[in-house]
Amino acid sequence: MLPQLIKELQSLENPKQKEILQSFFKTGEGEYGEGDIFLGIKVPDQRKIAKKYTGLSLTKIQELLNSKIHEHRLTGLIILTNKYKKSHQENKANLFNFYLKNTKNINNWDLVDLTAPNIVGDFLFDKNKDTLYKLVRSKNLWEKRIAIISTLHFIKKQEFEDTLAISELLLKDNHDLIHKAVGWMLREVGKKDIEVLKKFLKQHYKNMPRTMLRYSIEKFPEEERKKWLKGKI
């Protein structure tokens, strides 16, 4: 089953798209995606292939996640997400633990963003959230991103407490990808309850990284955005 899946992915290799993605995902020396190898396959095409291989064993998914090829890892994670959605609670726990054991392989922002809310966020929604706070204190960029992006599931359920708490812990983080992730989640909070977002911003906007603030107020009217950015609130 796995050789056939890999063969299908290989058949969709797109040299022009590959070059674009290698640049877009910062794979150069010293960049956050250093060494990541792309085939140049679009996500919808990977989803179509993944759908046919939901029965792939965790051992085989592990082989995909160990691959240096980005699309192998993403397709493996999509399959894992599909498995999770169809599983009973006991098996969901196994898949959640499998996911967390592979954070070293979930090492680019799309890999995190497309999977963390659906597995980590879903599983922890009605449980103790200590795992998220352990991740957010990690020195690993991607584990910190998993922590904040997982809370998108909570936000959709009108639960904001952990999003705000984790955002506060990340206010002084120095990585742009964390600034963008936190700003995005805060913006999502604002879509559900603008007053909750504004209360948080009033407490922290003067100390927030500029990118984080810009992302969080992206949906505000233009004149209001200018006031926040100029500190005239």
Among 187, 108, 100, 101, CA closest to 141? 108
SS3 content of the chain, % helix, strand, coil (to 5): 70, 0, 30
Both 119 and 231 in one domain: the answer is: yes
Both 96 and 157 in one domain: the answer is: no
Both 88 and 160 in one domain: the answer is: no
Long-range residue pairs from 93-101, CB within 8 A, at least 24 positions apart, any chain: 93/123, 94/58, 95/58, 95/119, 96/120, 96/123, 98/58, 98/61, 100/131
Q: What is the CATH number of the domain that holds 40?
A: 1.25.10.90
Both 92 and 119 in one domain: the answer is: no
Domain of residue 124: give its range: 115-233
Decide which of 57, 76, 106 is a domain's last residue.
106
The model carries a pTM of 0.94
Both 143 and 196 in one domain: the answer is: yes
Measure the CA–CA gap between 182 and 157, rounded to whole angstroms: 18
Task: Report how many domains make up the chain.
Answer: 2
Decide which of 106, 128, 145 is a domain's last residue.
106
Both 68 and 126 in one domain: the answer is: no
Both 201 and 134 in one domain: the answer is: yes
Decide which of 52, 86, 106 is a domain's last residue.
106
Q: CA dihedral in degrees (97, 103, 105, 109; nearest 10)? A: 120
- According to DSSP, the residues that pair with 37 across neighbouring strands are 69
Per-residue pLDDT of the chain (233 residues; tens, 9 = 90+): 899 999 999 999 999 999 999 898 988 888 898 989 999 999 999 999 999 999 999 999 999 999 999 999 999 999 999 999 999 988 999 999 999 999 999 999 999 999 999 999 999 999 999 999 999 999 999 999 999 999 999 999 999 999 999 999 999 999 999 999 999 999 999 999 999 999 999 999 999 999 999 999 999 999 999 999 988 87
Both 67 and 133 in one domain: the answer is: no
Q: What is the 3-state secondary structure (H, E, C) of 37-64?
A: ECCCCCHHHHHHHHHCCCCCCHHHHHHH
